[in-house]
């Protein structure tokens, strides 16, 4: 069965890939907010767990850091299935882009 990515899931998955083994809940939240989009930490976490459930990412409990009161982070990395899903999402977007006649987008 083909797994369909939601829009927000796609964003989170892209960021996991971009931050590569440095990605964790708060870092992704910050990155999304830097894009000018406000989001609650719980939504980011929930989405990450959902992606993990679908097998698109995997998580490892990392090392502790002083800023977090000594608590360890849960770092996320993208899995093969996640890469395929991202690729497919991108391809389908591109196909849609390609189908736009050139004059429509003229002047943008």
Partner 1 sequence: MKKVKPPKFADKLFRWYCRNDLYESIIGDLHEQFEYDFKHKGTIKAKLLYWITVLKFYNRFTTSNNQSKETSIMFRNYFKTPVRFLKKHKSYALINIVGLSIGLFSCLLISFFLQHELNFDQQHQNGDNIFRINMIFADNSGSETTYINSPPALVPGIPEMFPEIKRATQLRYTGRTSLRNGHQVYFENHGFYADSSFLEVFTFPLVSGNTKTALDEPNSIVITSHLAKKYFGEKDPTGKLITMNNNVLLKVTGILEPIPSNSHIKFDFLISFETYTVPEGYLSDLTSWWWLGFVSYVELQNASGGQELQNKLDALYREADPDNETPFRTIVQPLEEIYLGSTGMTDDLASHMRSGNKYSIYALAVIALLILFIASFNLMNITVATSLTRGKEVGIKKVLGEEKSKLLVQLLLESVMITFISTVLAYVLFFALFTQIKDLLNWDLELSSTLLFISIPIALLFITVLGVLAGLYPAMLLTNLRVSSALKHGLKTGRGSAWLTNGLISLQFIISVALISSTIIIYQQIQYLRNQSLGFESSYVVSMKLLPQDMRAFYHRFKEDLHQNSQTQSVSRSERILGDPWPVNGILVRDEPDYKQVHGSQVGYDFLNTMGIELKTGRTFSEEFGTDSLGSIIINEACAKHLGFDNPVGEKVQFFDRHRTVIGVVEDFNFSSLHSEIAPVVMIMPFIDLQNMYVKVAPGNLAESLDLIESRWNEVSNGAPLEMQLMDDHMNQLYQNEEKLSLLISGFSILAVLLACLGLYGLIAFMVNKRIKEVGIRKVLGASVSSLLILFSKRYLGLIAIASIIAAPTVYYILSAWLNEFAYRIEFDFSVLLLAASLLAIISLLTIGARAIKTALANPIKALRDE
The residue ranges that bind partner 1 (CB under 8 A) are 24-26, 29-30, 40-43, 45-46, 49, 61, 67-69, 71-74
Q: Which is nearer to partner 1, 43 or 92 (CB)?
A: 43
Q: Transcribe 70-88 into DSSP letters.
A: TPEEEEEEE-HHHHHHHHH
Q: Which is nearer to partner 1, 2 or 71 (CB)?
A: 71
Q: How many CB atoms lie within 10 A of CB 52?
A: 16
CA 11 centroid distance within chain: 4
Q: How far is the CB of 77 from partner 1 (least distance, A)?
A: 14
Smallest gap from Cβ 25 to partner 1, in A, equals 4
From residue 106, give the alpha-carbon distance in Å to each of 42, 94, 98, 102, 103: 41, 17, 14, 7, 5
In terms of CB distance, is 42 or 92 closer to partner 1?
A: 42
Residues paired with 102 in a beta bridge: none
Nearest approach in angstroms of CB 89 to partner 1 is: 23
Q: Give 65 or 92: the residue with its C-beta nearer to partner 1.
A: 65
Q: Which residues are within 8 A (CB) of 31 and not within 5 positions of it... i.e. 6 or more apart?
A: 15, 18, 19
Q: How far is the CB of 82 from partner 1 (least distance, A)?
A: 18
């Amino acid at each position: 069965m083909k797994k369909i990515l939601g829009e927000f899931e796609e964003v989170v998955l892209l960021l996991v890939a971009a931050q590569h083994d440095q990605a964790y809940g708060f870092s992704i939240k910050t990155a999304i907010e830097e894009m000018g989009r406000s989001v609650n930490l719980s939504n980011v976490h929930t989405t990450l767990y959902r992606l993990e459930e679908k097998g698109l990412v995997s998580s490892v409990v990392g090392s502790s850091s002083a800023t977090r009161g000594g608590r360890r982070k849960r770092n996320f990395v993208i899995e093969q299935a996640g890469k395929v899903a991202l690729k497919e999402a991108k391809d389908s977007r591109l196909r849609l882009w390609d189908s736009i006649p050139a004059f429509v987008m003229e002047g943008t």
